[in-house]
Structure 1
Amino acid sequence: MALFAVQLTFTDTDRRLQVRPAHREYLTSLKESGKLVTAGPFGDQTGALLIYDVADEAELREILAADPYTPADVYEIASLKEWQPLFPLG
């Protein structure tokens, strides 16, 4: 398993807010399955940071493709990188 940090930049606020309940339900299911470590928007609501625990980048891309935000086209990926935390999570 590998940890990935994904930084999103939001692009369409009105549409994003319409899709947000489905997006958050999806994130909840990922958290419950252990694929999502943590997630949340930035304080200024211009984007978000998500940390995933997945087998590889291919699995992460599949997860992102299934997110309701993706077909709604309400974000851009500002950064997607494998992450090696200095301190243990939890």
Structure 2
Amino acid sequence: MMIVELAFTPAPERLAARAAHRSLLLRLHQEGRLVAAGPWADDSGALLVFDVERAELAEILGDDPYYRTPGVGVAAVREWSPIVGPAA
């Protein structure tokens, strides 16, 4: 499992790019490569949980221009080893 944490700023480009990004997330979820994703309640960033290897995650991040949009920063990418839940 791979975890991506995003940090947001109020740049208007982020909101303009969000619909296309969410469409890609839906496709990744339907394919079983994205477990969960969503913004923090205060909209300061988001958390995404991917069921992919690091190399595939790099491709996913590279293929979605949202991650390079002003107002969106990738704050952290971490490998996660859950001990309970559907991914355990």
| TM-score between the two structures when normalised by the length of structure 2 | 0.88
Q: Deviations over 1:29-79 (max 9, x none)?
A: 00011110000000010100000001x211101101112313424321111
Count the aligned residue pairs. 87
User: What residue in structure 2 maps to residue 44 of structure 1?
Assistant: 42
Gaps of 5+ in 2: none
| Unaligned ranges ≥5, structure 1 | none
Structure 2 partner of 1:74: 71
Q: Which residue of 2 aligns with 1:22?
A: 20
RMSD of aligned C-alpha atoms? 1.5
Q: Match of 2:27, as an amino acid? A: S
TM-score for the superposition, normalised by structure 1: 0.87
Greater per-residue strand proportion: 1
Change in Cα spacing, 1:6 to 1:57, as seen in structure 2 (3 Å) is same
8 Å CA contact 2:12–2:71 kept in 1: the answer is no
Q: Does the CA contact (< 8 Å) of 2:35 and 2:49 recur in 1?
A: yes
Label 1:51 to 1:78 Cα distance change in 2 as closer, same or farther (>3 A).
Answer: same
CA distance in structure 1 between the partners assigned to 2:2 and 2:68 by the alignment: 21
